[in-house]
Copies of this chain bind each other. A is one copy, B any other.
Amino acid sequence: MFVMDLLEQLPPPGPDEALETLLSRDGVRFERIVSTGQASPPGFWYDQAETEVVVLLAGAATLRFEEGDRLIELRPGSLVEIPAHARHRVEATQADPPTVWLAVFFR
């Protein structure tokens, strides 16, 4: 049984986002992502084989989807489903206080 306070014991800010796999069960994987101002490199698009559902727990972030050039602003409590192969990028994340995401991946 896994128990964790996702807003506690944040990793120290670094050049990259901090990814941590929390639990992985029956093909469903939960990750905590802590962002401190990072964004996807210019021209980069994620194209993932898994469905990803993200929930913002703290901070702020902006996602962009290629289809329709859609921008989504996330604040705490925002949930976004990213279907498999939906090309997207992280336009911006709040640095301080850090931005904390819960991401759930599955096929």
Instruction: Mark each residue of chain A from 88 to 107: 1 if its CB lies under 8 Å from any CB of chain B, else 0.
Output: 00000000000010101011
The complex places the Cα of A62 from the Cα of B100 at a distance, in Å, of 23
The complex places the Cα of A28 from the Cα of B53 at a distance, in Å, of 11
> Is A26 an interface residue, CB under 8 A from the partner?
yes
B81 touches A2 (CB 8 A): yes
B75 touches A53 (CB 8 A): no
Question: How many A residues face the partner with a CB closer than 8 A?
Answer: 36
Nearest B residue to A102 via CB reads B55
Closest 9 CB pairs of A and B: A7-B77, A2-B81, A6-B77, A28-B106, A3-B80, A4-B79, A5-B78, A1-B81, A5-B77
Count of identical protomers in the assembly: 2
> Is A38 an interface residue, CB under 8 A from the partner?
no
Contact check: which of B5, B26, B30, B55 meets A6 at CB < 8 Å? B55
Contact check: which of B2, B58, B78 meets A79 at CB < 8 Å? B2
The complex places the Cα of A75 from the Cα of B58 at a distance, in Å, of 13
Contact check: which of B1, B7, B23, B65 meets A76 at CB < 8 Å? B7
